[in-house]
């Protein structure tokens, strides 16, 4: 019943997304993440986010949970906003050749104090872009883990000639996440029932306050890992012989089509967005807004 497991666990379903070859799934992930790093325009990034939601619908991910995931780094969004209000003028501003449209101050002048935090249209648009990058990163990662089983990751890595011990470790680690989440919930409940709570704002005290939770998590994980290791070796792992995979990684027509589309998108998005047309720069949205508000063009 753990939310953590629900957020990060693999859901075995038979959807078009789940059926993709693991290598195509990796490519999908990079196609979602890399343009987000290269681009800063909110409208384009919003387009990518919509694509992720469409893929989410294809993978039968609940929209409600997807939205929750996007809101998860909410404090991060606030931090990004505050940082940009105070630092935009000294950082990104230096690279903008046009006059910024200032909207006002976050902290107005009061006697000799202030003003601080110069809010500009460009600053806000840029902030929105950065927040969307973060949203794309968390939602794409979550969706990737939802339709990519840990063994898919193993299969894809094996195809890339990664040693089997490493790929199996990765696979088991991912497989362990939902169980770990259940364990953490149970331990938290047990300690809360003994009156445990964290009511300090001092970071050192907070860390100390978590000791009663961290120690049982570690000790139980260690016990579990010993049994797990015993179970793994008793099922013939580490025998040194070549591992035969039940799943044969072979491209179907669907995989070829998806692979081609993703490659085209990835290449064109990076080229057009970064070097050639520079359309993915946040001036695209800025100029649209300026035009709509009858402001001087840039």
Partner 1 sequence: MEEYAIIMENVDWTYEGGTEKAIRNINLKIKKGEIVVITGPSGAGKSTLCYCISGLIPHFFRGELRGEVIVSGYNVRQTPLKVLSKEVGICFDNPSNQLFCATVLEEVAFGPENICVSRDEVIERVRDAIKLCRLEEYKDKSPHALSGGLKQSTAIAAIMAMRPNIFVLDEPTSNLDPEGTELIFHRIHELMSAQKRTTIIVEHKLEYVLPFADRLIIMSDGEIVANGSVRKVLAESELLQKLEISVPHVTKLAYGICKHLSEDNVPITLEEGMKLLRGVTVRKTMPGLKELKCHSLAGKERKIIIKCENVWYEYPDGTLALKGVNLEINEGELIGVIGQNGSGKTTLAKLLNGLYKPTKGTVIVDGIDTRTVDVGYLARVVGYCFQNPDDQIFAKTVREELEFGPRNLKLPPEEIEQRVKKYAKKLEIHNYLDVSPFTLSQGLRQRVAVASVLTMEPKILIIDEPTTGQDYARSKAIMDLAKELNKEGKTVIIISHDMNLIAEYCDRVVVMWNGKILIEGTTREVFSKPQVLAQSSLKPPQITQLAQILGLPPDILTVDEMIDLLDIKG
What CA–CA distance (Å, rounded) separates 93 from 290?
Answer: 17
Q: Which residues contact 134 (CB under 8 A, 6 or more apart)?
A: 73, 76, 77, 80
Judged by CB under 8 A, the chain residues 162 through 181 that form the site for partner 1 are 171-172, 174-176, 178-179
Judged by CB under 8 A, the chain residues 54 through 83 that form the site for partner 1 are none
Judged by CB under 8 A, the chain residues 243 through 272 that form the site for partner 1 are 243-246, 248
Do the Cβ atoms of 29 and 116 come closer than 8 Å?
A: no
Stretch that binds partner 1, among 41-49, 98-106, 109-117, 145-153 (CB under 8 A): 145-153
Of these, 6, 93, 118, 159, which contacts partner 1 (CB under 8 A)? 6
Stretch that binds partner 1, among 2-10, 27-35, 95-103, 255-263 (CB under 8 A): 2-10
What CA–CA distance (Å, rounded) separates 235 from 192?
Answer: 39
- DSSP letters spanning 102-129: EEEEEE--BTTB--EEEEEHHHHHHHHH
Q: Which is nearer to partner 1, 79 or 214 (CB)?
A: 214
Of these, 51, 228, 289, 298, which contacts partner 1 (CB under 8 A)? 228
Q: Alpha carbon of 55 to those of 14, 59, 140, 144, 219: distances in Å?
A: 14, 6, 9, 10, 39
Q: Quick one: CA dihedral 34, 37, 41, 46, positive or negative?
A: positive
Pairing of strands 102-107, 116-120: antiparallel
In the complex, the smallest distance separating the C-beta of residue 146 from partner 1, rounded to whole angstroms, is 11
In the complex, the smallest distance separating the C-beta of residue 109 from partner 1, rounded to whole angstroms, is 44
What CA–CA distance (Å, rounded) separates 233 from 248?
Answer: 24
Phi-psi region of 192 (alpha: psi -120 to 50; beta: other; left: phi over 0): alpha
Q: Which is nearer to partner 1, 9 or 42 (CB)?
A: 9
Of these, 232, 263, 264, 267, which contacts partner 1 (CB under 8 A)? 232
Stretch that binds partner 1, among 48-56, 78-86, 136-144, 228-236 (CB under 8 A): 228-236
Q: Which is nearer to partner 1, 67 or 190 (CB)?
A: 190
Rule CB under 8 A: say whether 207 interacts with partner 1. no
> What is the total count of residues that contact partner 1 (CB under 8 A)?
64
Q: Which is nearer to partner 1, 59 or 124 (CB)?
A: 59
In the complex, the smallest distance separating the C-beta of residue 122 from partner 1, rounded to whole angstroms, is 39
Of these, 230, 257, 263, 295, which contacts partner 1 (CB under 8 A)? 230
- Identify the CA nearest to 221 among candidates 191, 184, 252, 188: 184
């Amino acid at each position: 019943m753990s939310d953590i497991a629900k957020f990060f666990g693999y859901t075995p379903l038979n959807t078009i997304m789940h059926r993709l070859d693991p290598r195509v799934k990796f490519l999908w992930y990079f196609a979602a993440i890399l343009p987000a790093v290269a681009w800063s325009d909110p409208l384009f990034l919003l387009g990518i986010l919509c694509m992720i939601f469409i893929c989410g619908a294809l993978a039968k991910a609940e929209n409600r949970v997807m939205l929750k995931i996007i809101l998860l780094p909410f404090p991060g969004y606030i931090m990004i906003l505050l940082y940009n209000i105070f630092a935009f003028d000294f950082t990104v501003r230096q690279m903008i050749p046009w006059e910024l449209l200032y909207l006002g101050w976050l902290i107005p002048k009061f006697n000799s104090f202030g003003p601080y935090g110069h809010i500009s249209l460009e600053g806000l648009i840029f902030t929105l872009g950065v927040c969307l990058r973060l949203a794309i990163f968390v939602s794409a990662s979550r969706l990737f883990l939802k339709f990519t089983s840990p063994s898919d990751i193993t299969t894809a890595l094996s195809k890339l000639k990664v040693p089997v011990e490493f790929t199996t470790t990765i696979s088991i680690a991912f497989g362990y996440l939902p169980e770990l989440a259940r364990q953490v919930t149970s331990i938290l409940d047990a300690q809360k029932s003994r009156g445990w709570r964290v009511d300090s704002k001092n970071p050192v005290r907070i860390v100390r306050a978590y000791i009663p939770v961290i120690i049982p998590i570690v000790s139980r994980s260690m016990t579990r890992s010993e049994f797990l290791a015993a179970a793994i070796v008793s099922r013939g792992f580490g025998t040194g012989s070549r591992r035969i995979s039940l799943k044969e990684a072979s491209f179907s027509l669907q995989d070829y089509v998806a692979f081609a589309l993703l490659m085209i998108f990835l290449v064109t998005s990076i080229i057009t967005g970064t070097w050639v047309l520079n359309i993915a720069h946040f001036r695209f949205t800025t100029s649209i807004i300026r035009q709509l508000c009858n402001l001087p063009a840039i």
